Amino acid sequence: MLAKSYIVTGRVQGVGFRWFVLGRARSLDITGWVRNLPDGSVEVRAEGSEAALESLESLLEKGPAGSMVRDVQSRPSSASERYHDFDITY
């Protein structure tokens, strides 16, 4: 089990980005969460297999229709294995 944190910038709020991430993460069997940040970016905390996290990162770079992703910053994190699902947090 690996873990990564992502910060996604661009037009990523008000376009269904969190719901997009929620659906894709669950379909990839990734656990963790996604949330909007006050600066207009979106933060993602994800735990899963290396292949699943690579797939998620590719999806984050594209985003849903209506979004315009400028940048995705990722960094490895310690897997906590405390998440049992993937959720939207506030």
Catalytic residue set: 18, 36
Residue pair 9/68 in contact by the 8 Å Cβ criterion: no
Instruction: Output the furthest CA–CA distance in the chain (Å, rounded).
Output: 33
- The span from the CA of 18 to the CA of 36, in Å, is 8
